[in-house]
Amino acid sequence: MPLSRDEVRHVAMLARLGLEPGDEDFYAEQLSGILEHIDRLQQVDTEEIPPTAQVVEIASRLREDEPRPGLTQEEALANAPAKVDGFFRVPAIQEEA
Amino acid sequence: MIDDLTELTIKDAARLLRLGSISSAELVTAHVERIERLDPHVKAYLRFTPELWESQADEADRKIGQGEAPPLAGIPMAVKDVLCVRGVETTAGSQILRGFKPPYTATAVARLFEAGAVMLGVTNCDEFAMGSSTENSGYFPTRNPWDLDRVPGGSSGGSAAAVAAGEAMIALGSDTGGSIRQPAALCGVVGMKPTYGRVSRYGLIAFASSLDQIGPFARTVDDAAITLSLMAGFDPLDATSSDRPGLEVLNSSGGTVKGMRLGVPREYYDVKGIEPGVKAALDAALFILRNAGAEIVDVSLPHTDYGLAAYYIIAPAECSSNLARFDGVRYGLAEVDAPNITDEYMQTRRKGFGTEVRRRVMLGTYALSSGYYDAYYLKAQKVRTLIKRDFDEAFKKCDAIVSATSPTVAFPIGSKTQDPLSMYLCDVLTLGGNLAGLPGISVPCGTSDGLPVGLQVLGPQWGESVVLRVARSYEEASEIRAEVASVV
Amino acid sequence: MEVHVQPKTRTKMFCGCAVAPLNAPPNTYVCEICLGLPGTLPVANKAAVEACLKTALALNCEIPRHTKFDRKNYMYPDLPKGYQISQYDLPMSVSGHVEVATRKVRIRRVHLEEDTGKLVHAGDKLHKAWESYVDLNRAGVPLMEIVSEPDLRSADEARDYATELRTLLRAIGASEAEMEKGQMRVEPNISIRRAASDELGVKTELKNINSFRALHRAILFEVERQTQVLESGGRVVQETRGWSEAEQRTFSQRSKEFAEDYRYFPEPDLPPLEVERTWIDELRRNLPELPSVRRARLLDHLPAAQVAVIGADRELADLYENAVARGAPALPTANWIVNEVAPTGKLSPPENLAELMKLLHDGAITRDSAREVYVESVETGRTPAEIVAEHGYAQVSDESELRVLAEAVIDANPKAAADYRNGKKQAMQALMADLRKRAPHANPKVANELLLKLLA
Ligand SMILES: [Mg+2]
Ligand SMILES: [Zn+2]
- Check A50 against B382: CB less than 8 A apart: yes
SS3 B120: strand
Percentage of chain C beyond pLDDT 70 is 96
Indicate whether C375 and C420 sit together in one domain.
no
When pLDDT is cut at 50, 70 and 90, the band that residue C321 belongs to is confident
Tell me which chains share at least 3 CB pairs under 8 Å with chain B: A, C
Residues C201 and C237 sit within 8 Å (Cβ to Cβ): no
CATH number at residue C451: 1.10.10
For residue C300, the model assigns a pLDDT of: 81
When pLDDT is cut at 50, 70 and 90, the band that residue C382 belongs to is confident
What are the residue boundaries of the structural domains of chain A, listed by start? Answer: 5-43
Interface with chain B: mutation pick from C32, C35, C41, C119, highest number of B CBs within 10 Å? C41
d(CA B35, CA B40): 8
Catalytic residues of B: 80, 155, 179
Residue of B nearest to C75 (CA): B324
Indicate whether C307 and C253 sit together in one domain.
no
Phi, psi angle pair for B468, to nearest 5°: -65, -35
In chain A, residues with a C-beta closer than 8 Å to the C-beta of C255 are 96-97
In chain A, residues with a C-beta closer than 8 Å to the C-beta of C76 are 93
In chain A, residues with a C-beta closer than 8 Å to the C-beta of C30 are 70-71, 76
According to DSSP, residue B437 is labeled T
Q: Domain tally for chain C?
A: 3
d(CA C452, CA C454): 6
- Check A76 against C254: CB less than 8 A apart: no
- Check B386 against A49: CB less than 8 A apart: yes
Is omega for the bond preceding C95 within 30 degrees of 0, making it cis?
Answer: no
This prediction has a pTM of 0.87
Cα of C138 from ligand 2 centre, angstroms: 9
* CATH topology (fold) of A5-43: Histone, subunit A (1.10.20)
Low-confidence winner among B304-313, B398-407, C84-93, C340-349 (lowest mean pLDDT): C340-349
In chain B, residues with a C-beta closer than 8 Å to the C-beta of C35 are 330
List A residues 28-57 in contact with C (Cβ-Cβ < 8 A). Answer: 53-54
In a domain, C284, yes or no: no
Provide the mean pLDDT of chain B: 94
Indicate whether C159 and C247 sit together in one domain.
yes
Q: Which residues contact C72 (CB under 8 A, 6 or more apart)?
A: C83, C84, C85, C86, C88, C113, C262, C264
B76 bridge partner residues? B118
**Helix runs in B145-207, H state only:** 157-164, 181-187
Indicate whether C302 and C170 sit together in one domain.
no
Phi, psi angle pair for C10, to nearest 5°: -85, -35
Cα of C7 from ligand 2 centre, angstroms: 16
In the predicted structure, residue B83 carries a pLDDT above the cut 60: yes
For residue C255, the model assigns a pLDDT of: 53
When pLDDT is cut at 50, 70 and 90, the band that residue A1 belongs to is low
When pLDDT is cut at 50, 70 and 90, the band that residue B3 belongs to is low
List B residues 339-368 in contact with A (Cβ-Cβ < 8 A). Answer: 339-347, 349-351, 353, 358-359, 361-363, 365-366
Measured CA distances, B460 to B389, B433, C341 (Å): 11, 9, 67
d(CA C277, CA C192): 42
Higher pLDDT, C258 or A67: A67
Residue of B nearest to A79 (CA): B331
Measured CA distances, B481 to B72, B439, C229 (Å): 21, 21, 82
For residue C258, the model assigns a pLDDT of: 58
In the predicted structure, residue C124 carries a pLDDT above the cut 80: no
Indicate whether C336 and C269 sit together in one domain.
no
Residues B426 and B132 sit within 8 Å (Cβ to Cβ): yes
Q: Is B436 on the interface with A (CB under 8 A)?
A: yes
Q: Who among A14, A58, A73 is closest to C271 (CB)?
A: A58
For residue B226, the model assigns a pLDDT of: 95
In a domain, C181, yes or no: yes
- Check A87 against C26: CB less than 8 A apart: yes
For residue C193, the model assigns a pLDDT of: 84
In a domain, C91, yes or no: yes
Indicate whether C41 and C161 sit together in one domain.
yes
In the predicted structure, residue A51 carries a pLDDT above the cut 90: yes
For residue B117, the model assigns a pLDDT of: 98
Q: Which whole number is the average pLDDT over C200-204?
A: 83
- Domain span holding position C441: 399-455
For residue B251, the model assigns a pLDDT of: 58
Rg (alpha carbons) of chain B, rounded to whole number: 21
**Nearest CA to A34 among B210, B384, B267, B362?**
B362
Higher pLDDT, C268 or A95: C268
According to DSSP, residue B282 is labeled H
Percentage of chain C beyond pLDDT 90 is 38
Measured CA distances, C305 to B81, C293, C312, C338 (Å): 69, 17, 11, 9
Q: Which residues contact A85 (CB under 8 A, 6 or more apart)?
A: C26, C133
Indicate whether C49 and C182 sit together in one domain.
yes
Residue-wise pLDDT for B112-140, tens only, equals 999 999 999 999 999 999 999 999 999 99
List B residues 404-423 in contact with A (Cβ-Cβ < 8 A). Answer: 420-421
In the predicted structure, residue B23 carries a pLDDT above the cut 90: yes
Residue of A nearest to B385 (CA): A52
**Nearest CA to B201 among B108, B314, B101?**
B108
Q: Is C133 on the interface with A (CB under 8 A)?
A: yes
- Check B102 against C32: CB less than 8 A apart: yes
In a domain, C230, yes or no: yes
Q: Which residues contact C170 (CB under 8 A, 6 or more apart)?
A: C176, C177, C313, C314
Indicate whether C233 and C297 sit together in one domain.
no
Q: Which residues contact C65 (CB under 8 A, 6 or more apart)?
A: C274, C275, C277
In a domain, C374, yes or no: yes
For residue C152, the model assigns a pLDDT of: 87
In chain C, residues with a C-beta closer than 8 Å to the C-beta of B370 are 261, 263
Strand order in the sheet with C142-148: C93-100, C103-114, C142-148, C2-5, C184-187
In the predicted structure, residue C254 carries a pLDDT above the cut 80: no
Q: Give the ligand at the shortest distance from the Cα of C4.
A: 1
Helix or strand holding residue B440 (H, E): strand B440-448
In the predicted structure, residue A96 carries a pLDDT above the cut 50: no
In chain C, residues with a C-beta closer than 8 Å to the C-beta of A71 are 30-32, 35
- Check B370 against C261: CB less than 8 A apart: yes
Higher pLDDT, B205 or C122: B205
Indicate whether C342 and C259 sit together in one domain.
no
Indicate whether C132 and C183 sit together in one domain.
yes
List C residues 272-291 in contact with A (Cβ-Cβ < 8 A). Answer: 272-274
Helix or strand holding residue B246 (H, E): none
Q: Which whole number is the average pLDDT over C188-213?
A: 85
For residue B161, the model assigns a pLDDT of: 97
For residue A73, the model assigns a pLDDT of: 97
- Check A80 against B365: CB less than 8 A apart: no
Cα of C30 from ligand 2 centre, angstroms: 4
Query: What residues pack around ion ligand 2 (CB closer than 5 A)?
Result: C 15, 17, 31, 33-34
Residues C65 and C276 sit within 8 Å (Cβ to Cβ): no
For residue C207, the model assigns a pLDDT of: 87
Residue-wise pLDDT for B172-207, tens only, equals 999 999 999 999 999 999 999 999 999 999 999 999
Indicate whether C151 and C67 sit together in one domain.
yes
Helix or strand holding residue B329 (H, E): none
Reported ipTM exceeds the 0.90 cut: yes
In the predicted structure, residue B488 carries a pLDDT above the cut 60: no
Higher pLDDT, B229 or C364: B229
Residue-wise pLDDT for C212-234, tens only, equals 988 999 898 888 888 888 888 88
Residues B106 and B114 sit within 8 Å (Cβ to Cβ): no
Decide which of C246, C279, C312 is a domain's last residue: C279
d(CA B188, CA B484): 9
**B244-B249-B255-B259 Cα dihedral, nearest 10 degrees:** 0
For residue B264, the model assigns a pLDDT of: 98
Low-confidence winner among B186-200, B439-453, C413-427 (lowest mean pLDDT): C413-427
Cα of C1 from ligand 1 centre, angstroms: 12
In the predicted structure, residue C161 carries a pLDDT above the cut 50: yes
In chain A, residues with a C-beta closer than 8 Å to the C-beta of C130 are 91-93
Decide which of C279, C299, C333 is a domain's last residue: C279
Q: Is B310 on the interface with A (CB under 8 A)?
A: yes
For residue B1, the model assigns a pLDDT of: 43
Decide which of C235, C251, C279 is a domain's last residue: C279
Low-confidence winner among A23-37, B314-328, B351-365, C294-308 (lowest mean pLDDT): C294-308
Residue-wise pLDDT for A3-38, tens only, equals 899 999 999 999 999 999 999 999 999 999 999 999
CB atoms within 10 A of CB C368: 13
Indicate whether C188 and C297 sit together in one domain.
no
List C residues 18-37 in contact with A (Cβ-Cβ < 8 A). Answer: 18, 25-32, 34-35
Domains of chain B: 2-260+460-478 (3.90.1300.10)
Length of chain A: 97
Residues B209 and B201 sit within 8 Å (Cβ to Cβ): yes
**Nearest CA to B465 among B78, B192, B145?**
B192
Burial C336-358 (b: 16+ CB within 10 A, else e): bbbebbbeeeeebbbbbbbbbbb
Q: Nearest-CA distance from C108 to chain B in Å?
A: 23
Residues B348 and B96 sit within 8 Å (Cβ to Cβ): yes
For residue C437, the model assigns a pLDDT of: 79
Provide the mean pLDDT of chain C: 87
d(CA B300, CA B394): 7
Phi, psi angle pair for C81, to nearest 5°: -85, -10
Cα of C140 from ligand 1 centre, angstroms: 12
